[in-house]
Structure 1
């Protein structure tokens, strides 16, 4: 999937225009990159469009250990939106990520995060 297709998926899922889809994608994916261990981030980045992969790869090199609610709070801080909007942003972008990666990679990713993240990826349980 090319970057334009990825953004189109985010647009469809979140009801955004292209500019907002790019803005929330950057916020959510960079926050995800901060949250993931380096090896998990690297494997995930390999399956994403280069522009999205770059957001993960340039994230903080120290893994953070926050739950899903703190993830949403951090997205809200970056976007300047309220937490309900940030949760919607997170769901739209992370569901687009989940659609992009293989089932095995998604299972690995979700197994490295607290269970509440699965719903943000559009998967209430492992696939």
Structure 2
């Protein structure tokens, strides 16, 4: 998926303007990358458009955030206070990210995330 297509898809799904969609994508990818351990953030970034590489935070230890903490950090970085809006934006971004990943990468990504966060992707969690 190309950068422009990803931003346009998030804009449509979340009902955002261009700048807000970019900020939302950057915030969600930053928090998601920080949540991932090992090289998983690098693997994620490798399947996203090059312009988003710097948005994916690398944290080899990974954070142990649950869904509530995850969304709080997204809201803080996105500078959106309304919890429902933060969830809607995160779902729009993560659903779009899920579509950009191949099955193996999606499986590896989901293996590191708790159910509440994987639910935001809007796709069935791979088994096995």
**Structure 1 gap ranges (5+):** none
TM-score by length of 1: 0.90
Match for residue 22 of structure 2? 22
**Alpha carbon RMSD of aligned pairs, Å?**
1.6
For residues 47-71 of structure 1, what are the alpha-carbon distances to aligned partners after superposition, in whole Å with 9 as ceiling and x for unaligned? 1001222211x44454111011210
Match for residue 35 of structure 1? 35
**Structure 2 gap ranges (5+):** none
Secondary structure of the residue that 1:64 maps to in structure 2?
A: coil
Q: Distance in 1 between matches of 2:30 and 2:13?
A: 19
For residues 68-124 of structure 1, what are the alpha-carbon distances to aligned partners after superposition, in whole Å with 9 as ceiling and x for unaligned? 121001111122222111111110111111010001211110011111112111125
CA contact (8 A) 1:91 1:122 kept: yes
Q: Distance in 2 between matches of 1:17 and 1:28?
A: 16
How many residues in Structure 1 have an aligned counterpart in Structure 2? Answer: 126
CA contact (8 A) 1:90 1:120 kept: yes
Would you identify which runs of 4 or more consecutive aligned residues in structure 1 move more than 4 Å? 58-62
TM-score by length of 2: 0.89
Match for residue 119 of structure 2? 119
Q: Distance in 1 between matches of 2:78 and 2:45?
A: 22
1:66 aligns with 2:65: yes
